A and B are shown apart, each in its own frame.
Chain A
Amino acid sequence: MSGVAMTKMPAQTVAPKIEVRERQEPPAEKGTGKAKVAVRNLDFFYGRAQALHNISVEIPERIVMAFIGPSGCGKSTFLRTLNRMNDVIPATRVEGEVLIDDHNIYDVGTDVVELRRKVGMVFQKSNPFPKSIFENVAYGLRINRLTSSYSELEGRVEEALRDAALWSEVKDRLKTSALSLSGGQQQRLCIARALAIRPEVLLMDEPASALDPIATSKIEELVFDLKKQYTIVIVTHNMQQAARVSDTTAFFLLGKLIEVNSTEKMFTAPNEKLTEDYITGRFG
Protein backbone atom coordinates (compact mmCIF):
# COMPACT_ATOMS: atom_id res chain seq x y z
CA MET A 1 0.00 0.00 0.00
CA SER A 2 2.68 2.43 1.03
CA GLY A 3 4.74 1.55 -2.00
CA VAL A 4 1.95 2.61 -4.33
CA ALA A 5 1.68 5.98 -2.68
CA MET A 6 5.36 6.58 -2.86
CA THR A 7 6.15 5.51 -6.37
CA LYS A 8 4.23 8.53 -7.61
CA MET A 9 6.60 10.92 -5.94
CA PRO A 10 9.32 12.69 -7.83
CA ALA A 11 12.41 10.58 -7.64
CA GLN A 12 14.85 13.25 -6.57
CA THR A 13 13.13 14.23 -3.32
CA VAL A 14 13.18 12.12 -0.21
CA ALA A 15 9.66 11.06 0.59
CA PRO A 16 8.18 14.06 2.33
CA LYS A 17 4.97 12.27 3.24
CA ILE A 18 6.65 10.06 5.75
CA GLU A 19 6.58 12.03 8.91
CA VAL A 20 8.41 11.03 12.01
CA ARG A 21 6.01 11.45 14.84
CA GLU A 22 6.90 14.27 17.17
CA ARG A 23 6.89 12.94 20.65
CA GLN A 24 7.55 14.11 24.11
CA GLU A 25 9.83 11.39 25.21
CA PRO A 26 10.02 10.68 28.91
CA PRO A 27 13.59 9.91 29.98
CA ALA A 28 12.86 6.23 30.53
CA GLU A 29 12.04 5.78 26.87
CA LYS A 30 15.37 7.00 25.68
CA GLY A 31 16.85 3.66 26.52
CA THR A 32 19.95 3.09 28.53
CA GLY A 33 22.21 3.05 25.54
CA LYS A 34 23.65 -0.31 26.52
CA ALA A 35 23.50 -2.90 23.75
CA LYS A 36 20.92 -5.52 24.69
CA VAL A 37 21.56 -7.49 21.53
CA ALA A 38 24.82 -7.37 19.63
CA VAL A 39 25.17 -9.25 16.37
CA ARG A 40 28.62 -9.81 14.95
CA ASN A 41 29.42 -10.99 11.43
CA LEU A 42 26.35 -13.14 11.11
CA ASP A 43 25.96 -15.36 8.05
CA PHE A 44 22.92 -17.52 7.55
CA PHE A 45 22.32 -20.33 5.09
CA TYR A 46 19.26 -22.23 3.90
CA GLY A 47 21.01 -25.33 2.61
CA ARG A 48 23.60 -23.90 0.22
CA ALA A 49 21.81 -20.62 -0.37
CA GLN A 50 23.18 -17.84 1.75
CA ALA A 51 20.35 -15.70 3.05
CA LEU A 52 22.26 -13.30 5.29
CA HIS A 53 25.66 -11.82 4.58
CA ASN A 54 27.93 -10.63 7.34
CA ILE A 55 25.37 -8.77 9.44
CA SER A 56 26.64 -6.73 12.36
CA VAL A 57 24.33 -4.57 14.40
CA GLU A 58 23.76 -3.50 17.96
CA ILE A 59 20.30 -3.11 19.42
CA PRO A 60 20.30 -0.90 22.51
CA GLU A 61 18.13 -1.67 25.50
CA ARG A 62 14.56 -0.35 25.66
CA ILE A 63 14.23 1.06 22.22
CA VAL A 64 12.19 0.03 19.23
CA MET A 65 14.22 -0.97 16.24
CA ALA A 66 12.45 -1.46 12.92
CA PHE A 67 13.72 -3.68 10.11
CA ILE A 68 12.60 -2.58 6.67
CA GLY A 69 13.39 -3.82 3.21
CA PRO A 70 11.75 -5.49 0.23
CA SER A 71 10.27 -8.98 0.42
CA GLY A 72 12.84 -11.73 0.61
CA CYS A 73 15.61 -9.42 1.80
CA GLY A 74 16.23 -11.50 4.91
CA LYS A 75 14.73 -9.29 7.58
CA SER A 76 12.43 -12.00 8.93
CA THR A 77 15.20 -14.57 8.71
CA PHE A 78 17.44 -12.22 10.66
CA LEU A 79 14.75 -11.62 13.27
CA ARG A 80 14.39 -15.36 13.72
CA THR A 81 18.12 -15.79 14.32
CA LEU A 82 17.72 -13.68 17.46
CA ASN A 83 15.74 -16.35 19.32
CA ARG A 84 17.06 -19.30 17.33
CA MET A 85 13.65 -19.87 15.79
CA ASN A 86 15.40 -20.95 12.60
CA ASP A 87 16.61 -24.03 14.45
CA VAL A 88 13.29 -25.68 13.67
CA ILE A 89 13.84 -25.33 9.93
CA PRO A 90 15.87 -28.26 8.60
CA ALA A 91 19.20 -27.74 6.81
CA THR A 92 19.87 -24.24 8.04
CA ARG A 93 23.23 -23.00 9.29
CA VAL A 94 24.41 -19.97 11.21
CA GLU A 95 27.87 -18.48 11.40
CA GLY A 96 28.92 -15.54 13.52
CA GLU A 97 27.73 -14.39 16.90
CA VAL A 98 24.52 -13.14 18.43
CA LEU A 99 25.23 -11.74 21.86
CA ILE A 100 22.33 -11.13 24.18
CA ASP A 101 23.48 -9.55 27.44
CA ASP A 102 27.04 -10.40 26.30
CA HIS A 103 26.28 -14.10 26.00
CA ASN A 104 26.51 -15.75 22.59
CA ILE A 105 23.22 -17.57 22.06
CA TYR A 106 24.81 -19.87 19.48
CA ASP A 107 27.29 -21.22 22.03
CA VAL A 108 27.01 -24.97 22.39
CA GLY A 109 25.79 -24.86 25.97
CA THR A 110 22.96 -22.40 25.33
CA ASP A 111 19.59 -23.43 26.73
CA VAL A 112 17.28 -22.64 23.84
CA VAL A 113 14.20 -22.90 26.04
CA GLU A 114 15.65 -20.33 28.44
CA LEU A 115 16.65 -18.11 25.52
CA ARG A 116 13.15 -18.11 24.08
CA ARG A 117 11.73 -17.29 27.45
CA LYS A 118 13.92 -14.23 27.47
CA VAL A 119 13.39 -13.31 23.83
CA GLY A 120 9.68 -13.42 23.07
CA MET A 121 8.21 -13.45 19.60
CA VAL A 122 5.04 -12.34 17.87
CA PHE A 123 4.42 -13.75 14.43
CA GLN A 124 3.12 -12.25 11.23
CA LYS A 125 0.05 -14.41 11.21
CA SER A 126 -1.63 -14.52 14.58
CA ASN A 127 -1.39 -18.05 15.89
CA PRO A 128 -3.51 -18.46 19.00
CA PHE A 129 -3.68 -22.03 20.29
CA PRO A 130 -7.06 -23.72 19.94
CA LYS A 131 -7.65 -23.25 23.65
CA SER A 132 -9.48 -20.68 25.73
CA ILE A 133 -8.33 -17.07 25.88
CA PHE A 134 -7.14 -17.61 29.43
CA GLU A 135 -5.23 -20.79 28.60
CA ASN A 136 -3.50 -19.11 25.68
CA VAL A 137 -1.99 -16.46 27.92
CA ALA A 138 -1.37 -18.93 30.73
CA TYR A 139 0.45 -21.38 28.45
CA GLY A 140 3.90 -19.84 28.71
CA LEU A 141 3.49 -19.36 32.45
CA ARG A 142 2.44 -22.95 32.94
CA ILE A 143 5.15 -24.62 30.86
CA ASN A 144 7.85 -22.49 32.42
CA ARG A 145 6.36 -22.91 35.91
CA LEU A 146 6.53 -19.18 36.52
CA THR A 147 3.67 -19.03 39.00
CA SER A 148 3.22 -20.92 42.22
CA SER A 149 -0.53 -20.62 42.69
CA TYR A 150 -3.64 -20.34 40.58
CA SER A 151 -4.42 -16.86 41.88
CA GLU A 152 -0.95 -15.73 40.92
CA LEU A 153 -1.49 -17.25 37.48
CA GLU A 154 -4.76 -15.36 37.14
CA GLY A 155 -3.00 -12.16 38.15
CA ARG A 156 -0.25 -12.59 35.59
CA VAL A 157 -2.76 -13.41 32.84
CA GLU A 158 -4.77 -10.29 33.64
CA GLU A 159 -1.62 -8.18 33.73
CA ALA A 160 -0.49 -9.48 30.34
CA LEU A 161 -3.91 -8.89 28.81
CA ARG A 162 -3.94 -5.36 30.22
CA ASP A 163 -0.46 -4.71 28.85
CA ALA A 164 -1.64 -5.87 25.45
CA ALA A 165 -4.68 -3.56 25.67
CA LEU A 166 -7.04 -6.48 25.38
CA TRP A 167 -8.31 -6.93 28.94
CA SER A 168 -11.41 -4.76 28.72
CA GLU A 169 -12.55 -6.61 25.59
CA VAL A 170 -12.13 -10.14 26.90
CA LYS A 171 -12.41 -10.00 30.67
CA ASP A 172 -15.96 -11.40 30.64
CA ARG A 173 -15.19 -14.28 28.33
CA LEU A 174 -11.80 -15.61 29.35
CA LYS A 175 -13.03 -19.18 29.13
CA THR A 176 -14.24 -18.92 25.55
CA SER A 177 -12.22 -20.01 22.56
CA ALA A 178 -9.39 -17.76 21.45
CA LEU A 179 -10.46 -18.48 17.89
CA SER A 180 -13.71 -16.59 18.47
CA LEU A 181 -11.77 -13.32 18.65
CA SER A 182 -11.38 -10.99 15.69
CA GLY A 183 -8.09 -10.92 13.76
CA GLY A 184 -6.81 -7.83 15.56
CA GLN A 185 -7.80 -9.22 18.94
CA GLN A 186 -6.12 -12.53 18.14
CA GLN A 187 -2.90 -10.71 17.35
CA ARG A 188 -3.08 -8.74 20.59
CA LEU A 189 -3.76 -12.03 22.38
CA CYS A 190 -0.56 -13.40 20.88
CA ILE A 191 1.25 -10.31 22.12
CA ALA A 192 -0.28 -10.82 25.57
CA ARG A 193 0.85 -14.44 25.44
CA ALA A 194 4.38 -13.34 24.68
CA LEU A 195 4.31 -10.63 27.37
CA ALA A 196 2.97 -12.96 30.07
CA ILE A 197 6.33 -14.62 30.58
CA ARG A 198 7.97 -11.17 30.84
CA PRO A 199 10.59 -11.47 28.14
CA GLU A 200 13.37 -8.92 27.96
CA VAL A 201 13.38 -8.64 24.20
CA LEU A 202 10.27 -8.81 22.04
CA LEU A 203 10.60 -9.76 18.38
CA MET A 204 7.66 -8.81 16.17
CA ASP A 205 7.50 -10.18 12.65
CA GLU A 206 5.15 -7.88 10.74
CA PRO A 207 2.63 -8.00 13.56
CA ALA A 208 0.10 -5.78 11.82
CA SER A 209 0.43 -6.88 8.21
CA ALA A 210 -2.88 -8.72 8.17
CA LEU A 211 -4.84 -6.18 10.18
CA ASP A 212 -7.08 -3.28 9.30
CA PRO A 213 -5.98 0.30 10.06
CA ILE A 214 -7.79 0.49 13.39
CA ALA A 215 -6.32 -2.75 14.70
CA THR A 216 -2.95 -1.68 13.29
CA SER A 217 -2.98 1.62 15.15
CA LYS A 218 -3.82 -0.26 18.37
CA ILE A 219 -0.82 -2.52 17.89
CA GLU A 220 1.37 0.48 17.11
CA GLU A 221 0.27 2.32 20.23
CA LEU A 222 0.99 -0.84 22.12
CA VAL A 223 4.51 -1.08 20.75
CA PHE A 224 5.07 2.52 21.74
CA ASP A 225 3.96 1.80 25.31
CA LEU A 226 5.83 -1.46 25.61
CA LYS A 227 9.25 -0.04 24.97
CA LYS A 228 9.25 1.40 28.48
CA GLN A 229 9.86 -2.15 29.63
CA TYR A 230 11.05 -4.11 26.65
CA THR A 231 13.57 -4.00 23.89
CA ILE A 232 11.52 -4.39 20.75
CA VAL A 233 12.56 -5.42 17.27
CA ILE A 234 9.85 -5.08 14.67
CA VAL A 235 9.91 -6.21 11.06
CA THR A 236 7.59 -4.25 8.84
CA HIS A 237 6.78 -3.79 5.20
CA ASN A 238 5.09 -0.55 5.97
CA MET A 239 7.54 2.32 6.04
CA GLN A 240 5.09 4.71 7.64
CA GLN A 241 4.73 2.18 10.41
CA ALA A 242 8.49 2.01 10.87
CA ALA A 243 8.56 5.80 10.98
CA ARG A 244 5.75 5.93 13.50
CA VAL A 245 6.86 3.34 16.03
CA SER A 246 10.62 3.02 15.92
CA ASP A 247 13.61 4.87 17.31
CA THR A 248 16.12 3.28 15.01
CA THR A 249 15.63 1.67 11.65
CA ALA A 250 17.70 -0.92 9.83
CA PHE A 251 17.43 -1.33 6.08
CA PHE A 252 18.04 -4.76 4.56
CA LEU A 253 18.54 -5.57 0.92
CA LEU A 254 19.35 -8.95 -0.62
CA GLY A 255 20.52 -10.39 2.67
CA LYS A 256 22.79 -7.50 3.51
CA LEU A 257 22.33 -4.85 6.12
CA ILE A 258 22.66 -1.63 4.15
CA GLU A 259 22.15 0.98 6.81
CA VAL A 260 21.25 1.41 10.46
CA ASN A 261 20.33 4.87 11.60
CA SER A 262 17.99 6.79 13.81
CA THR A 263 14.55 6.59 12.29
CA GLU A 264 14.36 10.31 11.84
CA LYS A 265 17.64 10.43 9.95
CA MET A 266 16.72 7.35 7.95
CA PHE A 267 13.55 8.85 6.57
CA THR A 268 14.86 12.36 5.99
CA ALA A 269 18.51 12.09 5.10
CA PRO A 270 19.78 8.53 4.87
CA ASN A 271 23.48 7.99 4.46
CA GLU A 272 23.20 5.38 1.75
CA LYS A 273 22.01 5.92 -1.77
CA LEU A 274 20.30 2.49 -1.73
CA THR A 275 18.29 3.41 1.34
CA GLU A 276 17.15 6.61 -0.25
CA ASP A 277 16.17 4.80 -3.42
CA TYR A 278 14.11 2.29 -1.47
CA ILE A 279 12.42 4.82 0.76
CA THR A 280 11.53 7.06 -2.14
CA GLY A 281 10.07 4.08 -3.95
CA ARG A 282 12.53 3.81 -6.79
CA PHE A 283 12.54 0.05 -6.30
CA GLY A 284 11.24 -2.56 -3.91
Chain B
Amino acid sequence: MNAVRPVDRMRRVRSAIMTTLTGLCTLLAVGILLIILSYIAYRGIGSLNFRFLVDSPRPVGEGGGIGNAILGSVVLLALSSAFGLPLGISVGIYLSEVGKGRFTSAVRFIVDTLTGIPSIVTGVFVYAILVLPMKHFSAFAGGVALALIMIPIVARTTEEMLKLVPHSLREGALALGAPQWRVTLGVVLPAAASGIATGAMLAIARVSGETAPLLFTAFGSRFFNYYLDQPIASLTVQIYNYAISPYDEWHAQAWAATLVLMTLILGINIIVRFLTRKRF
Protein backbone atom coordinates (compact mmCIF):
# COMPACT_ATOMS: atom_id res chain seq x y z
CA MET B 1 0.00 0.00 0.00
CA ASN B 2 1.29 3.41 -0.88
CA ALA B 3 1.16 6.19 1.61
CA VAL B 4 -1.81 8.48 1.16
CA ARG B 5 -0.76 11.69 -0.53
CA PRO B 6 -1.41 14.86 1.49
CA VAL B 7 -3.75 16.17 -1.21
CA ASP B 8 -5.82 13.01 -1.01
CA ARG B 9 -5.88 13.14 2.75
CA MET B 10 -7.23 16.70 2.62
CA ARG B 11 -9.91 15.58 0.21
CA ARG B 12 -10.93 12.73 2.46
CA VAL B 13 -11.06 14.97 5.51
CA ARG B 14 -13.22 17.50 3.67
CA SER B 15 -15.50 14.73 2.49
CA ALA B 16 -15.82 13.36 6.02
CA ILE B 17 -16.60 16.83 7.42
CA MET B 18 -19.28 17.50 4.84
CA THR B 19 -20.86 14.06 5.33
CA THR B 20 -20.97 14.65 9.07
CA LEU B 21 -22.42 18.14 8.62
CA THR B 22 -25.25 17.04 6.34
CA GLY B 23 -25.94 14.14 8.70
CA LEU B 24 -26.13 16.48 11.67
CA CYS B 25 -28.47 18.86 9.86
CA THR B 26 -30.76 15.98 8.97
CA LEU B 27 -30.74 14.80 12.58
CA LEU B 28 -31.52 18.32 13.77
CA ALA B 29 -34.45 18.74 11.38
CA VAL B 30 -35.93 15.31 11.98
CA GLY B 31 -35.09 15.52 15.67
CA ILE B 32 -37.08 18.71 16.21
CA LEU B 33 -40.01 17.17 14.39
CA LEU B 34 -39.80 14.04 16.52
CA ILE B 35 -39.62 16.13 19.71
CA ILE B 36 -42.77 18.02 18.67
CA LEU B 37 -44.59 14.79 17.82
CA SER B 38 -43.59 13.00 20.99
CA TYR B 39 -44.36 16.01 23.19
CA ILE B 40 -47.85 16.21 21.66
CA ALA B 41 -48.30 12.49 22.22
CA TYR B 42 -47.02 12.83 25.80
CA ARG B 43 -49.34 15.74 26.65
CA GLY B 44 -52.30 14.44 24.70
CA ILE B 45 -52.42 10.76 25.48
CA GLY B 46 -53.61 11.31 29.09
CA SER B 47 -56.99 12.80 28.15
CA LEU B 48 -57.54 10.38 25.30
CA ASN B 49 -60.25 7.79 25.73
CA PHE B 50 -63.23 6.47 23.83
CA ARG B 51 -65.73 8.93 25.33
CA PHE B 52 -63.45 11.81 24.42
CA LEU B 53 -63.52 10.72 20.78
CA VAL B 54 -67.31 10.44 20.48
CA ASP B 55 -68.79 12.95 22.94
CA SER B 56 -69.55 16.55 22.16
CA PRO B 57 -68.03 19.27 24.37
CA ARG B 58 -69.35 19.88 27.86
CA PRO B 59 -68.85 22.75 30.30
CA VAL B 60 -65.60 22.83 32.25
CA GLY B 61 -65.36 20.09 34.86
CA GLU B 62 -67.82 17.77 33.17
CA GLY B 63 -65.43 16.14 30.74
CA GLY B 64 -66.91 16.03 27.27
CA GLY B 65 -65.17 15.27 24.03
CA ILE B 66 -64.38 16.30 20.52
CA GLY B 67 -66.58 13.89 18.55
CA ASN B 68 -68.36 16.76 16.83
CA ALA B 69 -65.04 18.38 15.92
CA ILE B 70 -63.66 15.17 14.45
CA LEU B 71 -66.81 14.75 12.39
CA GLY B 72 -66.68 18.42 11.43
CA SER B 73 -63.06 18.23 10.31
CA VAL B 74 -63.80 15.15 8.23
CA VAL B 75 -66.83 16.88 6.66
CA LEU B 76 -64.81 20.03 5.93
CA LEU B 77 -61.95 18.07 4.41
CA ALA B 78 -64.35 16.00 2.31
CA LEU B 79 -66.12 19.15 1.11
CA SER B 80 -62.91 20.98 0.28
CA SER B 81 -61.49 17.92 -1.47
CA ALA B 82 -64.68 17.52 -3.47
CA PHE B 83 -64.45 21.14 -4.66
CA GLY B 84 -60.71 21.65 -4.68
CA LEU B 85 -59.18 18.45 -6.06
CA PRO B 86 -61.13 18.19 -9.34
CA LEU B 87 -60.68 21.90 -9.99
CA GLY B 88 -57.01 21.92 -9.06
CA ILE B 89 -56.23 18.81 -11.10
CA SER B 90 -58.13 20.23 -14.07
CA VAL B 91 -56.13 23.45 -13.91
CA GLY B 92 -52.94 21.37 -13.71
CA ILE B 93 -53.97 19.36 -16.77
CA TYR B 94 -54.72 22.58 -18.61
CA LEU B 95 -51.36 24.09 -17.72
CA SER B 96 -49.40 21.00 -18.73
CA GLU B 97 -51.33 19.40 -21.58
CA VAL B 98 -53.72 21.85 -23.19
CA GLY B 99 -52.76 25.48 -22.84
CA LYS B 100 -49.99 27.14 -24.77
CA GLY B 101 -48.79 30.69 -25.09
CA ARG B 102 -49.32 33.84 -23.06
CA PHE B 103 -52.66 33.04 -21.51
CA THR B 104 -51.23 29.87 -20.00
CA SER B 105 -48.23 31.73 -18.64
CA ALA B 106 -50.60 34.26 -17.10
CA VAL B 107 -52.66 31.48 -15.51
CA ARG B 108 -49.51 29.89 -14.13
CA PHE B 109 -48.39 33.20 -12.67
CA ILE B 110 -51.78 33.77 -11.04
CA VAL B 111 -51.79 30.27 -9.59
CA ASP B 112 -48.34 30.86 -8.12
CA THR B 113 -49.52 34.12 -6.62
CA LEU B 114 -52.59 32.45 -5.13
CA THR B 115 -50.35 29.89 -3.43
CA GLY B 116 -48.79 32.70 -1.46
CA ILE B 117 -51.99 34.39 -0.29
CA PRO B 118 -52.32 34.26 3.51
CA SER B 119 -55.12 31.90 4.42
CA ILE B 120 -56.85 34.49 6.58
CA VAL B 121 -57.36 36.59 3.46
CA THR B 122 -59.09 33.64 1.84
CA GLY B 123 -61.26 33.35 4.96
CA VAL B 124 -62.28 37.00 4.83
CA PHE B 125 -62.95 36.72 1.09
CA VAL B 126 -65.29 33.75 1.54
CA TYR B 127 -66.90 35.57 4.49
CA ALA B 128 -67.69 38.43 2.13
CA ILE B 129 -68.98 36.41 -0.81
CA LEU B 130 -70.73 33.53 0.97
CA VAL B 131 -71.26 34.08 4.67
CA LEU B 132 -72.68 37.62 4.40
CA PRO B 133 -75.20 36.81 1.63
CA MET B 134 -76.24 33.58 3.42
CA LYS B 135 -76.44 35.56 6.65
CA HIS B 136 -74.80 32.82 8.71
CA PHE B 137 -71.64 30.76 9.03
CA SER B 138 -71.76 27.36 7.39
CA ALA B 139 -69.85 24.15 6.75
CA PHE B 140 -70.28 24.88 3.05
CA ALA B 141 -68.46 28.20 3.34
CA GLY B 142 -65.69 26.48 5.31
CA GLY B 143 -65.31 23.87 2.60
CA VAL B 144 -65.11 26.55 -0.08
CA ALA B 145 -62.46 28.48 1.86
CA LEU B 146 -60.29 25.40 2.28
CA ALA B 147 -60.83 24.44 -1.36
CA LEU B 148 -59.59 27.88 -2.47
CA ILE B 149 -56.39 27.20 -0.55
CA MET B 150 -56.05 23.74 -2.07
CA ILE B 151 -56.60 24.63 -5.73
CA PRO B 152 -53.30 26.40 -6.47
CA ILE B 153 -51.25 23.78 -4.60
CA VAL B 154 -52.95 20.90 -6.40
CA ALA B 155 -52.79 22.68 -9.76
CA ARG B 156 -49.06 23.27 -9.63
CA THR B 157 -48.10 19.83 -8.33
CA THR B 158 -50.37 18.22 -10.92
CA GLU B 159 -48.73 20.27 -13.65
CA GLU B 160 -45.24 19.33 -12.47
CA MET B 161 -46.14 15.65 -12.22
CA LEU B 162 -47.70 15.60 -15.69
CA LYS B 163 -44.61 17.25 -17.11
CA LEU B 164 -42.52 14.42 -15.69
CA VAL B 165 -44.39 11.93 -17.87
CA PRO B 166 -42.07 11.30 -20.82
CA HIS B 167 -43.16 12.88 -24.07
CA SER B 168 -42.58 9.56 -25.80
CA LEU B 169 -45.60 8.08 -23.99
CA ARG B 170 -47.85 10.77 -25.44
CA GLU B 171 -46.43 10.23 -28.91
CA GLY B 172 -46.84 6.48 -28.55
CA ALA B 173 -50.52 6.89 -27.83
CA LEU B 174 -51.02 9.53 -30.53
CA ALA B 175 -49.32 7.25 -33.06
CA LEU B 176 -51.95 4.62 -32.33
CA GLY B 177 -54.65 7.02 -33.39
CA ALA B 178 -55.66 8.22 -29.95
CA PRO B 179 -57.24 11.68 -29.83
CA GLN B 180 -55.64 14.20 -27.48
CA TRP B 181 -58.20 13.87 -24.69
CA ARG B 182 -57.82 10.08 -24.58
CA VAL B 183 -54.05 10.40 -24.44
CA THR B 184 -54.36 12.74 -21.49
CA LEU B 185 -56.99 10.78 -19.59
CA GLY B 186 -55.96 7.24 -20.51
CA VAL B 187 -52.18 7.38 -20.59
CA VAL B 188 -50.67 10.55 -19.16
CA LEU B 189 -52.91 10.95 -16.12
CA PRO B 190 -52.58 7.32 -14.92
CA ALA B 191 -48.81 7.49 -15.42
CA ALA B 192 -48.70 10.51 -13.11
CA ALA B 193 -51.37 9.28 -10.69
CA SER B 194 -49.17 8.57 -7.70
CA GLY B 195 -47.42 11.93 -8.02
CA ILE B 196 -50.73 13.75 -8.32
CA ALA B 197 -51.99 11.87 -5.26
CA THR B 198 -48.95 13.04 -3.34
CA GLY B 199 -49.76 16.61 -4.34
CA ALA B 200 -53.37 16.13 -3.29
CA MET B 201 -52.15 14.70 0.02
CA LEU B 202 -49.93 17.69 0.65
CA ALA B 203 -52.85 20.00 -0.07
CA ILE B 204 -55.17 18.09 2.26
CA ALA B 205 -52.53 18.01 4.98
CA ARG B 206 -51.99 21.72 4.52
CA VAL B 207 -55.65 22.71 4.86
CA SER B 208 -56.37 20.27 7.66
CA GLY B 209 -54.16 22.45 9.81
CA GLU B 210 -55.87 25.68 8.79
CA THR B 211 -57.68 27.60 11.53
CA ALA B 212 -57.87 31.22 10.46
CA PRO B 213 -60.10 30.82 7.37
CA LEU B 214 -62.47 28.59 9.34
CA LEU B 215 -63.01 31.24 12.03
CA PHE B 216 -64.71 33.37 9.37
CA THR B 217 -66.59 30.61 7.60
CA ALA B 218 -67.36 27.36 9.43
CA PHE B 219 -67.05 29.29 12.71
CA GLY B 220 -67.21 26.27 15.03
CA SER B 221 -69.94 24.69 17.09
CA ARG B 222 -70.29 22.89 20.40
CA PHE B 223 -72.79 20.42 19.02
CA PHE B 224 -72.99 17.71 16.41
CA ASN B 225 -74.15 19.28 13.19
CA TYR B 226 -75.50 17.37 10.23
CA TYR B 227 -76.41 20.27 7.97
CA LEU B 228 -73.99 21.84 5.56
CA ASP B 229 -75.66 25.26 5.76
CA GLN B 230 -75.03 25.44 9.51
CA PRO B 231 -71.86 26.32 11.43
CA ILE B 232 -69.73 23.26 12.02
CA ALA B 233 -67.00 22.39 14.50
CA SER B 234 -63.48 21.52 13.45
CA LEU B 235 -60.49 20.17 15.30
CA THR B 236 -58.34 23.20 14.60
CA VAL B 237 -60.87 25.77 15.78
CA GLN B 238 -61.65 23.59 18.80
CA ILE B 239 -57.94 23.38 19.63
CA TYR B 240 -57.66 27.15 19.24
CA ASN B 241 -60.62 27.86 21.49
CA TYR B 242 -59.48 25.41 24.16
CA ALA B 243 -55.85 26.50 24.03
CA ILE B 244 -56.70 30.17 24.68
CA SER B 245 -59.13 29.29 27.47
CA PRO B 246 -58.06 29.70 31.11
CA TYR B 247 -58.94 26.12 32.12
CA ASP B 248 -56.40 23.35 32.65
CA GLU B 249 -58.91 20.68 31.67
CA TRP B 250 -59.50 22.37 28.31
CA HIS B 251 -55.76 22.76 27.81
CA ALA B 252 -55.38 19.01 28.28
CA GLN B 253 -58.23 18.41 25.86
CA ALA B 254 -56.56 20.70 23.31
CA TRP B 255 -53.42 18.57 23.50
CA ALA B 256 -55.47 15.41 23.01
CA ALA B 257 -57.33 16.98 20.07
CA THR B 258 -53.99 17.89 18.50
CA LEU B 259 -52.90 14.29 18.79
CA VAL B 260 -56.17 13.19 17.13
CA LEU B 261 -55.70 15.72 14.31
CA MET B 262 -52.22 14.46 13.59
CA THR B 263 -53.38 10.85 13.60
CA LEU B 264 -56.19 11.80 11.23
CA ILE B 265 -53.74 13.35 8.74
CA LEU B 266 -51.47 10.32 9.04
CA GLY B 267 -54.44 8.03 8.43
CA ILE B 268 -55.56 9.91 5.30
CA ASN B 269 -51.97 9.83 4.09
CA ILE B 270 -51.69 6.06 4.46
CA ILE B 271 -55.06 5.41 2.81
CA VAL B 272 -54.28 7.60 -0.20
CA ARG B 273 -50.83 6.05 -0.56
CA PHE B 274 -52.42 2.63 -0.53
CA LEU B 275 -55.10 3.53 -3.08
CA THR B 276 -52.65 5.11 -5.52
CA ARG B 277 -49.69 2.77 -5.02
CA LYS B 278 -47.79 1.96 -8.17
CA ARG B 279 -49.34 -1.07 -9.75
CA PHE B 280 -47.38 -0.98 -12.97
Task: Tell me, rounded to whole Å, the shortest Cβ–Cβ distance linking B169 to chain A.
Answer: 6
Expressed in whole angstroms, the Cα–Cα distance for A143 and B186 within the complex equals 10
Q: Given the known inter-chain contacts A88-B170, A125-B168, A127-B169, please indicate yes or no for A178 contacting B176, CB distance below 8 A.
A: no
CA distance A131 to B230 in the complex (A): 45
Candidates B168, B171, B280; contact of A130 at CB < 8 Å = B280
- Across the interface, which residues of B come within 8 angstroms of A113, CB to CB? 177-179
Residues of A133-157 whose CB lies within 8 A of B: 139-140, 143-144
Contact at A120–B280, with CB atoms within 8 Å?
no
With A123-B168, A125-B168, A129-B169 already in contact, the answer to whether A140 and B280 are too (CB < 8 A) is no
Chain A 180-205, CB within 8 Å of chain B: the 1/0 string?
A: 00000000001001100100000000
A50 to B100, CA, bound (A): 23
Q: Which of B252-280 contact A (CB under 8 A)?
A: 279-280
A22 within 8 A of B: no
- Mark each residue of chain B from 163 to 181: 1 if its CB lies under 8 Å from any CB of chain A, else 0: 0001011111111111100
Tell me whether A114 is interfacial, beta carbon within 8 Å: yes
Which single member of B100, B168, B175, B190 contacts A116 (CB below 8 Å)?
B175
Scan B229-262; emit 1 where CB is below 8 A from any A CB, else 0.
0000000000000000000000000000000000
Shortest beta-carbon distance from B149 to chain A in Å: 31
Counting chain B CB atoms within 10 Å of each CB, the highest count among A117, A129, A190 belongs to: A129
Q: Is the CB of A120 within 8 A of B175?
A: yes
Complex CA distance for A127 and B169, rounded to whole angstroms = 6
In residues 106-126 of chain A, which contact B (Cβ within 8 Å)? 113-114, 116-117, 120-121, 123, 125
Using a CB–CB cutoff of 8 Å, the interface residues on chain A facing chain B are: 83, 85, 88, 90, 113-114, 116-117, 120-121, 123, 125, 127-132, 139-140, 143-144, 177-179, 190, 193-194, 197
19 contacts between A and B (CB under 8 A): A85-B174, A88-B170, A113-B178, A114-B177, A117-B176, A123-B171, A123-B172, A127-B166, A127-B168, A129-B172, A129-B173, A129-B191, A131-B190, A139-B186, A143-B186, A144-B176, A177-B280, A193-B172, A197-B176
